[in-house]
Amino acid sequence: FRDNAHLMAQYADSVRAARRIAEGKTGLVRIAYMAFAATELMPAAVARFSRAHPHVEVSLQYIRTQGQKLALARDEIDLGYMIGPFDHPEYHSLLLATEPLYVATPRNHPLLRRPVIKPADLAGEKIILGDQKEWGEYRWRLADMFHTEGVELNVALEASNTLGLLGLVSAGLGVTVYPESLTGFLGRAVELRPIMHPAFRLNTVLVWKRANHSPQVRAFVATARNLPAHR
């Protein structure tokens, strides 16, 4: 009888464990994010999700947007915070934020004397951007925005990360263009002004495979969807 009772208890535990997995209350969710989601969108969603689902393991990886698309296709991650839009019949895409772009300049830069800064005002300026390897998607979208306004960017220097960009700007070697999500992390040697144009905005989207029916993924998407919108 004791053996039977032990077997029944094991069976009941297995059933409860399977139910928790099916309900998304345990398991693993693998999330990738790019730089512009790292400061607010991703941490806020992970924090709320972890409080609601303490037994679900969250795996985080920093991957640039193009790398995330490959990782999703290979089933190496479940969800990706990437630069949007991303329209593909095999994927869901949830718009999380549409944020304005800013010009970051050294102190006392001539651009700061303008009442407003428009895209055309950056024509001829020495521009400092992230390199193509890490910032390729952002640079492509930025170049497209300026090209639409008839402005070709004069990229004078490149850096592989945000600290490098800010160091070069603060040293007076040029200006850069930043999304609003990163503007709270600038040093005192850098000044900010918004680019006054309705099209100069950056989208951040959350992407996952339509074929991925994981309850953990559905639960995380619901969490991200219900966070206060960033506009």
pLDDT in tens, the chain (231 residues): 555 544 554 544 444 444 545 544 679 999 999 999 999 999 999 999 999 999 999 999 999 999 999 999 999 999 999 999 999 999 999 999 999 999 999 999 999 999 999 999 999 999 999 999 989 999 999 999 999 999 999 999 999 888 899 999 999 999 999 999 888 877 788 999 999 999 999 999 999 999 999 999 999 999 999 997 655
By C-alpha distance, which of 129, 202, 133 is closest to 162? 129
DSSP 109: -
Q: What's the whole-model pTM score?
A: 0.85
Phi, psi of 210 (to 5 degrees): -65, -30
User: Do 136 and 63 touch, CB atoms closer than 8 A?
Assistant: no
Tokens of 101: 């772009």
Rounded CA separation 223/217 (Å): 10
Which residue's entry shows tokens 């969710």? Answer: 29
Q: Is the peptide bond between 89 and the residue preceding it cis, with omega within 30 degrees of 0?
A: no
